[in-house]
Structure 1
Amino acid sequence: MTTAAVITKPAALRIALAARVLSEVDTGALVAKLGNQLGLPITEEKLAKVTVADLKLILSGEETVEPDVDGASIKLAVRHLWGESGDAENLPPLDVYSDGDLPGSLRVAVASNTEENLDGHFGSCPRFLVYQVGRNDIRLIDARSTLISDDAEDKNVARAELINDCQIVYVQSIGGPAAAKAVRANVHPVKVPEGGKARATLQRLQAVLDAPPPWLAKILGVEAKSLSRFTEAEEE
């Protein structure tokens, strides 16, 4: 049987993109399992009907995928199978910003799969949205593609280096080893499992800048309000 009879070229590209975001998934094994599930030849039309539940079932074999593949990566992989491999046209517009515009602000990265949403896994999101967050303003200053990190020897180290000018990275999910690599790059990972609009999350961060919890106070280089009463007692 010829390659053309097994899978069309556009379908092969979709599967390759899906496999890329599924970490250790072998592309050939994924093609074989999709072929068993969907029937040959594998076409764009068949891939467009694959659901998240279908892909979870396909990935359930030990030879295909690690048992801890996260839900965010599976959802993104399904979007690739559907042909939604790139949404550059849906990228939010950047705000005007020059260094020093927001004194005392934080630089924050957000793992994003779609539009201006916090809906990405650290190790598989196609981009990080980068914001400057001040007490009275939030500005989107950059959208950094993670494509360059995919060919690195250690993808998670490369992703951490991509945002190492940020103090915080918000993610929908992140594994322990990846979190440690982000911390070594001086980027504090914060998980928001429910995801949501990026700016809504950043507004919650903005609301505590004047009375930061200990972890945020350390990043800001100030004393946490919750600890100030102990300092006052010692001075008395």
Structure 2
Amino acid sequence: MSNTPIASREAALRIALAARTLNNLNVRALVEALADKCGLPITEDRLAQLTVEDLRALLAGDYADQSCHVGVDADTLKAAIRLLWGEGVAGSDFPPVQAYADGDMPGSLRVAIASNHNELLDGHFGSCERFLIYQVSPSEIRLVGVRSTLSTADAEDKNAARAELINDCQILGVQSIGGPAAAKVVRAGVHPVKRPIGGEARDMLAELQGRLLAPPPWLAQIMGVPAHSLAKFEADMEEIEP
């Protein structure tokens, strides 16, 4: 299958949500089945043409031996097809990004946020649907990318694949992350920070932004500046030790 069978982030999100609704079925197999049915690339318009019977046939057909066959009831099939059509998948689920070029924001850091909805920090590292990518400077917070984790679904080591997806970032914000996964994130050059309370991504980023001029040792090392205390920031943030 092509490395880029899905035409847009919106189409990728629809497929990922439908797969989750269908008892977390194998995403790669679903993509291959949809590619055969709809043709390539898989576009939003092509997904909108699918019917419940089309989906039922796909799940019971040639892809059954690729973990694409699941036993689901009619209501679940209908819910999945509505997601493939885009119903209930608001455009804000993949928030619009702002243009960014290297050097635009002097003294900035790149931060990944594990997210499932809008601009929320509400994801576990190993199961979030996407990473929101922000550039953060003392004077500005800019959303510069939204990266679907769909491409990591069939990886042999999903945690390593997710770490690679964000390896251009310096900090990762998550609600939760396991120790082995955190070690892989650290090896990718990213510093994981756990915020169990979750909430708006920009709330965490604003707290971080307010400390950029007086960073703690780990942040100072990233920035190449003298270290200062970050006690107030860390009171609400549980730092992950490598």
TM interval, short-chain normalised: 0.5 to 0.7
Question: Is the contact between residue 104 and residue 134 of structure 1 (CA under 8 Å) also seen in structure 2?
Answer: yes
Question: Is the contact between residue 98 and residue 144 of structure 2 (CA under 8 Å) also seen in structure 1?
Answer: yes
Q: In 2 relative to 1, CA 20–171 (structure 1 residues): closer, same or farther, beyond 3 Å?
A: farther
Q: Tell me the distance in 2 between the aligned counterparts of 1:178 and 1:136.
A: 32
Give the structure 2 partner of residue 77 of structure 1. none
| CA positional deviation for 1:150 | 1.0
Q: In 2 relative to 1, CA 226–85 (structure 1 residues): closer, same or farther, beyond 3 Å?
A: farther
- Letter of the 2:173 partner, please give it: Y
Give the structure 2 partner of residue 204 of structure 1. 207
Partner of 1:18, secondary structure, is coil
Question: Is the contact between residue 113 and residue 172 of structure 2 (CA under 8 Å) also seen in structure 1?
Answer: yes
* Residue 162 of structure 1, aligned match among 162, 165, 168: 165
* Residue 181 of structure 1, aligned match among 180, 184, 190: 184
Give the structure 1 partner of residue 52 of structure 2. none
Q: Tell me the distance in 1 between the aligned counterparts of 2:133 and 2:95.
A: 11
Question: Is the contact between residue 17 and residue 85 of structure 1 (CA under 8 Å) also seen in structure 2?
Answer: no
Give the structure 2 partner of residue 136 of structure 1. 139
Q: Structure 1, residues 26-76: CA drift from partner, whole Å, max 9, x if none? A: xx9xx78xxxxxxxx72326997xxxxxxxxxxxxxxxxxxxxxxxxxxxx
Q: In 2 relative to 1, CA 138–17 (structure 1 residues): closer, same or farther, beyond 3 Å?
A: farther
Q: Provide the TM-score with structure 1 as the length reference.
A: 0.63
* Residue 44 of structure 1, aligned match among 60, 66, 75: 75
Whichever of the two has the greater Rg, that structure is 1
Partner of 2:96, secondary structure, is coil
The answer for unaligned runs of 5 or more in structure 2 is 1-17, 28-66, 231-242
- Letter of the 2:202 partner, please give it: R
Q: In 2 relative to 1, CA 84–133 (structure 1 residues): closer, same or farther, beyond 3 Å?
A: farther
- Letter of the 2:159 partner, please give it: N
Partner of 2:214, secondary structure, is coil
Partner of 2:142, secondary structure, is strand
Give the structure 2 partner of residue 72 of structure 1. none
| CA positional deviation for 1:128 | 0.4
Q: Are positions 1:18 and 2:11 aligned together?
A: no
Give the structure 1 partner of residue 227 of structure 2. 224
Partner of 2:156, secondary structure, is coil
Give the structure 2 partner of residue 153 of structure 1. 156
Q: Provide the TM-score with structure 2 as the length reference.
A: 0.62
State the percentage of identical aligned residues: 61
- Letter of the 2:205 partner, please give it: L
The answer for unaligned runs of 5 or more in structure 1 is 1-11, 22-27, 33-40, 49-79, 228-236
Q: Structure 1, residues 146-205: CA drift from partner, whole Å, max 9, x if none? A: 111111110010110011000001011111110000000001111111101111110000
Question: Is the contact between residue 108 and residue 137 of structure 2 (CA under 8 Å) also seen in structure 1?
Answer: yes
Q: Tell me the distance in 2 between the aligned counterparts of 1:85 and 1:144.
A: 21
